[in-house]
Amino acid sequence: MTQSAKDYLVVGATASPGSDELPQFLDPVCRAPDQEETLFVANVEPWDGSPPGFHPVARQTFVEECEAGNWQRLEPGFFFDWGYQLVVLDADRPPLYLPASDADHVVRKRGEEALEAFASDLERCAVGEESDDRIWYAARALPDDPFPLLALLALERSHISPTLSTQLESELPEQYPGPSPLHQRAIDRRWGKLLGIIRKDAVGEHFLAAAGDLDPVISPDSKQSEASMGSSAGRNVRRGERTEWLKGFLNPSGFLPDMQLQFGRR
């Protein structure tokens, strides 16, 4: 049972994320009307599944954490509510304090916008550093749909460590009847280059094949684009090899949820 929070003001947050850690849900730091030297961290959704509640911290600890850049001060402008979420979407803007369902919707919408912008970059042959940021943002914001993660793996496999690649792969569902909602959107909106690049990755090919989508709609210059992106697309294997390789996948581990808790999602 959650503790009473009558007249508690949100005055800070227990994280100060950078642009490569967004979007991110934050734990609010609150000031009680009858407390001077003690503040309270609101554990809205504890990692261990325990009931939500307040954790007291000394005011001096809060000051030191903020000065070290680990936590951040917020202008007191809203009262704490257990049904609300503190979420930051942009590095150059303060966090938003929204009803939980609204916060989830906003994060999902921003993730979808990032994915769409990335697909547009590919179609226009305008891939750059900002494009890389977009696909990572989409993967952090949309962990419930495997499609952004498939795109991330296909594009970044040659740039991330084998350990991280394996950890990310373990978050993909064992069964994929597909296409997922975002995969279907890619087909409907004719994101041919993005689909083609995912198909060139061994894991991506397996998932697209499971959805009956080995031959997606490809724009006329997709072959050229795929060749230019080949260094990021991972290795291709024969169908038999791919099947044996994927047998080693476990059920989704806790890696991606833990990553989202720290770098993008509750």
Give me the DSSP letters along 227-256: HHTGGGS-----HHHHHHHHTTPPSP-SHH
CA distance 73 to 69: 10
List, in order, residues 6 or more apart from 186 with CB less than 8 Å away.
119, 147, 179, 194, 195, 216
**Residue 40 near residue 59, CB atoms below 8 Å:** no
pLDDT of residue 57: 96
Question: Which mean pLDDT values do the consecutive 10-residue runs of the chain (266 residues) have?
Answer: 76 93 95 92 85 93 96 90 95 92 96 97 90 94 95 92 92 88 94 94 89 56 41 33 41 52 50
pLDDT of residue 215: 55
CA distance 30 to 40: 5
Per-residue burial over 226-253, b if 16 or more Cβ lie within 10 Å, else e, is beebeebbbeeeeeeebeeebeebeeee
Element (H, E) at 197: helix 192-200
CA 102 to chain centre: 17
pLDDT of residue 248: 43
One-letter amino acid of 219: S
Structure tokens at 117: 């912008």
3-state secondary structure of 13: strand
Cis upstream peptide for 181 (omega within 30°): no
- The conformational region for residue 251 under phi > 0 = left, psi -120 to 50 = alpha, else beta, is beta
Give the bridge partners for 43, in sequence order.
Answer: 53
CA distance 21 to 232: 22
pLDDT of residue 45: 84
CA distance 254 to 264: 15
CA distance 92 to 155: 27
Cis upstream peptide for 252 (omega within 30°): no
pLDDT of residue 155: 92
